[in-house]
Amino acid sequence: MKTFVVGISGVTNGGKTTLAKNLKKYLPNCSVISQDDFFKPESEIETDKNGFLQYDVLEALNMEEMMSAINCWMESQRHALLSTNWESAEEISILIIEGFLLFNYKPLDTIWNRSYFLTIPYEECKRRRSTRVYEPPDPPGYFDGHVWPMFLKHRREIEDITWEIVYLDGTKSEEDLFSQVYEDLIHELAKQKCMQVTA
């Protein structure tokens, strides 16, 4: 069994989790790992001079634990290969990793088979964020004082990246985003299959 790892990153409330869930429904042998599941407890989050908890930085995440989850998935695919017949050994297993800080985390650089980055404009992002309930809740001024500046920093950081990132317009409908990415992935997976055959 071969593996194919998809990264879905982008701005908070850009639609990463929604897109990943929709893809999982329609792609065969597909698992999802969500970066949001790896936040450190509040007691371990730094605070800045304005009293804002610094959640939107890599240090707020237990990335070692997330890497273990990814390695665990890789390992389970290897085991599946050992206990399977030759035919299903041809199949590709897909792992979608979705989260707001993926492509600036060096240890993952070589893992991506396809990378997507969802963006939405400032106003829309602020509006969507205000409708969500976070734990702990966003204090007044948090979006402009922490969330958006950290997103801009992150986006700048990934400008220098050497591999291809497909930028997605997060203001498109959920259905349109799904179709665009699904079709792109089917195409990429077919390319990978071709490479296996000719290798």
- Establish if 17 lies at the interface with ligand ADP (CB under 6 A): yes
Helix (H) or strand (E) holding 67: helix 63-82
| Binding footprint of Mg ion, residue count (CB under 5 A) | 1
The beta-strand segments (E) located in the chain are 2-10, 30-34, 92-98, 114-119, 166-169
| Active site (annotated) includes residue 36 | yes
Q: Is 7 near ligand ADP (CB under 6 A)?
A: no
At residue 30, φ and ψ (nearest 5 deg) are: -120, 130
Among the listed residues 4, 5, 6, 16, the single contact to ligand ADP using CB under 6 A: 16
Is position 17 an interface residue for Mg ion (rule: CB under 5 A)? yes
Q: How far is the CB of 112 from ligand ADP (least distance, A)?
A: 18
In three-state secondary structure terms, 183 is helix
Between 17 and 31, whose beta carbon lies closer to Mg ion?
17
Ranges within 93-132 binding ligand ADP (CB under 6 A): 128
Binding residues with ligand ADP: total (CB under 6 A): 12
Tell whether residue 119 is a contact of Mg ion (CB under 5 A): no
Binding segment for ligand ADP among 16-24, 56-64, 137-145, 181-189 (CB under 6 A)? 16-24
> Which tokens go with 77?
């695919």
Q: Which residue is nearest to ligand ADP (CB)?
A: 15
Q: Which residues of 124-153 are buried (b: 16+ CB within 10 A; e: fewer)?
A: ebbebbeeeeeeeebeeebbebbbbebbee
Q: Which of 1, 2, 3, 18 binds ligand ADP (CB under 6 A)?
A: 18
Element containing residue 169 per DSSP (H, E)? strand 166-169
Length of the chain: 199
E strand or H helix that includes residue 10: strand 2-10
By the criterion CB under 6 A, which residues form the site for ligand ADP? 12-18, 128, 172-174, 177
Q: Which residues are catalytic?
A: 36
